[in-house]
Structures are given as structure tokens and as C-alpha cells.
Structure 1
């Protein structure tokens, strides 16, 4: 791959907040940017040099993007993989269509994890009534997940009995699904790696995550957020998964850590990830700069965390803590706290459950940072304890 130097144009399929932060990183490094997104008011499109307002499958729109951009990436995994493949006939594209297609399908994704020697939760594929009837008893209670288009807890349902399983599958429309055995979790974590076309790979420290209702709520990153052996195994597994894909780009791999210390892979995201947002303020290189570097074929320097960090996810619910009329949260009071860094995504309407931004809190020690995060959460009406 030839190096794409600053002054060129980098394209991104998808105009959400991840695309917006990619655009900011690319522009900081001296690149022009082009965004393709069907939303005329998309967060990334509003800050990009070029915004192609069209559907991801529009051939003319893809041709316009290829004409503007010297290389193209994606900001979320549900961009149609065929569109990436189409663009790749004209321009370098990373991550590639094959890797994204695997991440879009839980069945293929789990098969890939198995091939890479990474342990998954015990599971069964359900695509037919016969497979439904053949589900092993030990997989219940479990979580039924649609094979495609599930994220942030969508397309998932807990089932305890065969009757509940059958009803859940039929309610999902009898689409291909995966049933995962419900496991006794201690905590969740994730690893973000960046891999170049030459196979060079770097990673951030392992991130400890807390979810609420299937959506990431809190990420903590500091030297003692989990046993060192667990962190080493998570990094090794994430690197194996990326190598197995011959991946180019930024990849996040999410894991469950069980009560007995076992590490079980949950899923992967072929893009920067919410749990890596802390890197903008607490690392010498962010996940978005690494996305630029992998896309442009630039060297990958191992990132160095310089501050303890906690990230709080900010949903639209915060605008409604005092009733049904939206009110701006207490940003001034929050930003008066030491080490706070507010990132809002430029979305014009706050809605419950909608990701509106995040708050990074940085400092020298975890106790100080955690105390500040608790105070900030209280000011915002954010009912999130920083531990389970």
C-alpha cells in the first residue's frame, strides 16, 4: 500500500459521532475529508469538507466518494459490505469488506473466533425449526441474539425455558439467530488494536467496562483495573483475531471475564469504539488518529497512556432528568471539576437512549478520578455506580 500523505482526502462511509471524531483527527493531521451518509444533518457531514448526502448503496454516490477520496474507511459495522467491496475496486479501503461482513454476522463471527483459538460462550446456531428443537439443555438459560443488525443490546432477549426460546425466535421473525449460554460474569472488558497492511500492530491498555441496558455506560482505564494475567490474555486474543482477518484498521474486541477467571470473547467491532473514547484525552495518540494512520499507511507508534481515565457515556436521557421538556445539562458545573473533558457530538435533538456525547475524566490516580466522576454523574443526574 502506498502512503497517503497529508493534503490528500480521506473518505468515510457513515456520518455519526465516530465519523465526526475521525474527521476531526484527519483534519488535525492536515487531510481533507469526505463523508457519505444518508442524513443531510449528520454529525460528521456537518464538519467535513465534503458531504455526499445519499444512501450507502447508491452507485453514483459511491463513485463521487471514490472520485474525491484517496482512501476510504467506515465508521460503523452495518455499512453494507458490498459497498466497501465496490469502493475497493477504485481506492484503498480499510477495513476490508470481508472483515466487515464477518463482523456483521454473529454466526460467521463466532466461527472466526473459534478458528483463532479464542474461547466463546457455549452457543448454538438457530436457523431452522430443526435446529431450534435440537438446542442442548445446558444452553438454557441463555441469550438469544439475532445474527445480524444487533448492537447496543438490540436484537437480544434472555430466555430461561424452551417455551421462552421458541417464542423469542418467532418474535424475532424466525431469522437466523445465535443462542448463547448465560454465564456468571465478574466484569466486562475490551481491547482496541490497530493493524497496518504490513501486519504491524499496536494496542491500547485493556479497558474495563460497565454496561446498562446493553449500552456502554462507564469505561475505566488504569494500571490496576484487572489482574495483569487477564489483561495479557485479552490482548493476545484480540491480536490473534485481528491477525486471523489480515485486518487493516482499528478493531475493538469485547470480552466477558467470568467468576472463575476465564476469558470469553463476546463480539468485535471493525471500527473505533465507545470504550476507546478516553484515548482522546488520556493517551498520546487517540484511536481516531490510529484509524487515520492505518488508512493512510502511516507508521503505527505504540500509544502511551499518560493519565488515569474514566469515560462516562452521555445519553439523551440527561436532557430529561427534570421532566418531559428537554433542558441542557449542567455543563458549566461539570467543567468546573478538575480533569473533565466534554465531548458532544453535534446532534441537534436529544432523545432518550440516543448517544449525545461522552465525558472523559483524567488525573494522576484512580481514587481522585473516580471521586470526580461520581461528582460529575451526580451533577448530571446520571445514576451510574462505577462498579457493579
Structure 2
């Protein structure tokens, strides 16, 4: 089912496959934080691998992410690691309720999470996703969910894309508005400062994404992703240099490209579960269709649509024509 299998080589044997990969690869990168740290460490002994092990290792565990945020003075939710119902009950008193119980590892598109509003739900939450190491995070009252994408190369050249607004439904990103509207320059600069701290501390080479909450008190960090990101797909048509090209530039030692938007505003709309009626998108000016050739199934991201406009009013009028792809 992997679309990339139609375009590139497949390696299914853990050891022989890696050895074959090393025969022709000058540099290696990855597109998921669920990649094996051990394999990345082994590959890095004989060839360049970006992002490096530290970024991958940190992003694979929510506790390590939060610890990194604290070390770098990047605001984040209060939290406690728990390994039993008794520890969860104790943590709920220290963190406070409401709170969100999450698995410390894996979890994608809202999976492996339970919002606890009152203490009577603690046992249910533990039974639902417990029996493993979990993290209890204080609930963040936010106005919007934002993200920022940055790129760094080996020469410590760093570039930043504008903050974008992300709209989720049932834990799945449904659409992104880029740039996020009504973001004042100090907020953008603050997000860039957080990113620069992360890039430097991790020695990160390539694209790095930081998901944030916008609150009355400022930006609050949620999590990082050491890879190109769904919320950055708008850059394919919407930015001078897209996130994918800048990632390749970074890991191959080339100068980084401009992150300036091509038009005033853009949107990225995920196609979820079904590709029915996507041909209609091709008839729309300033709308760009990208399909991933994935097998259809409920809640699966099968592609996305990028829409560009000169004004917010024009953008939202175009999005209204695409409302069949948006959550009700």
C-alpha cells in the first residue's frame, strides 16, 4: 500500500536491506518519527543521516519533548509521567484537572489520548489507554492551534515559514490557513526564537516542525516533528520554496530557499477517506490537487488541495466551493 514503493527501491530485510541502501546512498533521510533509532544510529556510522539521532530520539517520547521545552525555557503544559492508576490519581492532583492523558510514544491524529474533565473519569481513562507508560498533561485553554516550520542546514543557515493556523476535527488535521491571520510580528519572532533554540540544541539538519497553542498568555509548545509536516503542504504552491525542496537543500548542504509566500493567503485542505469528486478541483482556478495513490479507508489522508488567493474573502469563497472536503 505504500505509494513510495511504486517510485523507489524497497528494503524489507532489516540487515541486508540496510547494507544495500548504503551501497548507493550519499545521504539518508526519513519521513516518520516512528523510524527505528537503532537503525538510524547504525546507518550514521557509514553515511550521512539527517535529521540526526538526537532529533528522532527526542520526538519519539512526549516526556523527552516536554523536558527539552523546559530546558530551553519554551512554555509548555504542566505534566507528569505515570505508570499506574495510583500514579495517575496522584498526578491529577499535582497537574490539576481538566487534563489530557496520552501515551508517551506513538499516537497519531489524536489516537492514544483521553481528556479527563473530573476525577471520576480517572479509572476509565486508565482502562482505555493504560497498561503502559503514559503522560498526563494539563489542559491548555487555547484560542487557536498553530504551527511553524523551520529549516536548518549543516552551516547553521536557518529559515522560517510563517505561522499557520491548523483546524482539526476528531483529532485529524482537516485544513490549514497560511499565514495564520492577525499574527503580529512579535508573535512570529517569538515562534522563530523558540525554533532557533530547538534547532541549535538538537543540532538539527532538515525540516523541523513545532506545533503550538495560541493562548491569552502567549504561545505554548505542544510537540515537535523532525520532518516535513502536513501543515506545511501549502508551501508546494504557496511559498517561493516548498518545505520538501528546502529539506533536500538542507540535508545535501545547499543554500536554503526563500520561505516567502507567493500570494497573500493560502489554504491546504486534506482529502480524508474518499477521493470521490476530486476531479471537480481541477476545474477551479488557483486550486491544486495532490493525490497520494493510497488505498481508501475511513479517516485516512488520501491527498490534499492547495488553494491560493489574494484576499481572505476570496480564499474563503473558494473553500466554500470545496466544502464537501471539509468537516461538517
**TM-score between both structures, scaled by the size of structure 1:** 0.80
SS state at 2:228 partner: coil
The match for 1:236 is 193
Alignment equivalent of 1:355, drawn from 297, 301, 313: 301
The match for 1:175 is 132
The match for 2:252 is 296
Tell me the CA shift for residue 136 of structure 1. 4.4
Q: Deviations over 1:246-285 (max 9, x none)?
A: 1111110000112x14211000111000000010001111
Aligned positions of 1:84-99 closer than 5 A? 84-99=40-55
**Residues 375 and 225 of structure 1, relative CA distance in 2, 3 Å threshold:** farther
Matched, 1:116 2:72: yes
The match for 2:157 is 200
Matched, 1:375 2:321: yes
Contact kept, 8 Å, 2:104 with 2:135, in 1: the verdict is yes
Contact kept, 8 Å, 2:174 with 2:326, in 1: the verdict is no
Contact kept, 8 Å, 2:164 with 2:180, in 1: the verdict is no
Q: Deviations over 1:104-138 (max 9, x none)?
A: 00011110111111010121111345532421435
Alignment equivalent of 2:11, drawn from 43, 53, 57: 53
Q: Deviations over 1:37-91 (max 9, x none)?
A: xxxx42112123xx12316xx0111111111211100001101111111110111
Contact kept, 8 Å, 1:338 with 1:372, in 2: the verdict is no
- Name structure 1 gaps, 5 residues minimum: 1-40, 320-327
- How many angstroms apart in 2 are the aligned matches of 1:345 and 1:225? 33
The match for 1:324 is none
Matched, 1:82 2:35: no
Tell me the CA shift for residue 357 of structure 1. 0.3
Matched, 1:279 2:235: yes
Contact kept, 8 Å, 1:206 with 1:235, in 2: the verdict is no
The match for 2:290 is 343
Contact kept, 8 Å, 1:142 with 1:160, in 2: the verdict is yes
The match for 2:208 is 251
Aligned positions of 1:6-45 closer than 5 A? 41-45=1-5
- How many angstroms apart in 1 are the aligned matches of 2:38 and 2:56? 10
**Ranges of 4+ aligned residues in structure 1 off by more than 6 Å:** none
Give the length in aligned residue pairs: 326
The match for 1:329 is 276
The match for 1:69 is 25
- Once the two structures are overlaid, the 10-residue window that deviates more, 183-192 or 220-229, is 220-229
SS state at 1:265 partner: strand
SS state at 2:143 partner: strand
SS state at 1:52 partner: coil
SS state at 2:269 partner: strand
Contact kept, 8 Å, 1:123 with 1:181, in 2: the verdict is yes
- How many angstroms apart in 1 are the aligned matches of 2:312 and 2:116? 38
SS state at 2:247 partner: helix
